[in-house]
Amino acid sequence: MEALKQRILNDGMALNETVLKVDSFLNHGVDAHLMYNIGTEFKKYFENHGVTKIFTIESSGIAPTVMTAMQMNLPMVTLKKQASKILKGDVYQTTVHSFTKATDYELTLSKKYISEDDHILIIDDFLANGEAALGAIRLVEEAGAKVAGIGIVIEKSFQPGRQLLIDKGYDVYSLARVSKLGEGIIEFIEE
């Protein structure tokens, strides 16, 4: 997605070889117009995948997922990373390691938001090592549902996440595939 790539080049900051800061438009400040266009791209790609619900992981994936859900006219569910006093009992949970924060967290899904008949589109802001996506997949499959596809806003293609998911048979669609990062360096895979 050319507009996303240009925004990354103009406003993103490569802090080092693995960290890309895009908080001015994706996950702290949010460019709603860009998120709408991201939703349009995901809809175009996934509209014939039989999707029944769209899942994301709190919190950075919420904006692009809301726009995709609106355009596809489908329910959206946010998988929780934070402990909740009211979300207990009938839940699916799995442990996920966060590459960015170098910590583990419990990913939680209430059983009332998924059924074995669902075909789930998972959308996330970044794909690096694939841990977050694999955690979401574990919850979906534990419920007996199917993963219809995985939509990624920004993929760090130099890390193993994409290949890991593809090798497991998942359809991964990334809007911007970063091939190289370094202090002041952001390069993309041209497709």
Average pLDDT (39-50) is: 98
Detail the residues annotated as belonging to a binding site: 20, 27, 128-132, 156
Detail the residues annotated as belonging to a binding site for xanthine: 20, 27, 156
Does a cis peptide bond (omega within 30 degrees of 0) precede residue 157?
A: no
Q: Which segment of 70-74, 105-109, 116-120 scores lowest on mean pLDDT? A: 105-109
* pLDDT at site 27: 86
DSSP 25: I
* pLDDT at site 102: 77
Detail the residues annotated as belonging to a binding site for 5-phospho-alpha-D-ribose 1-diphosphate: 128-132
Task: Characterise 104 by phi-psi region: left (phi > 0), alpha (psi -120 to 50), beta (else).
Answer: beta
| Domain coordinates in residue numbering, the chain | 2-82+89-188
pTM of the shown model: 0.94
* pLDDT at site 60: 87
DSSP 73: T
Could you tell me the fold of the domain covering 2-82+89-188? Rossmann fold (3.40.50)
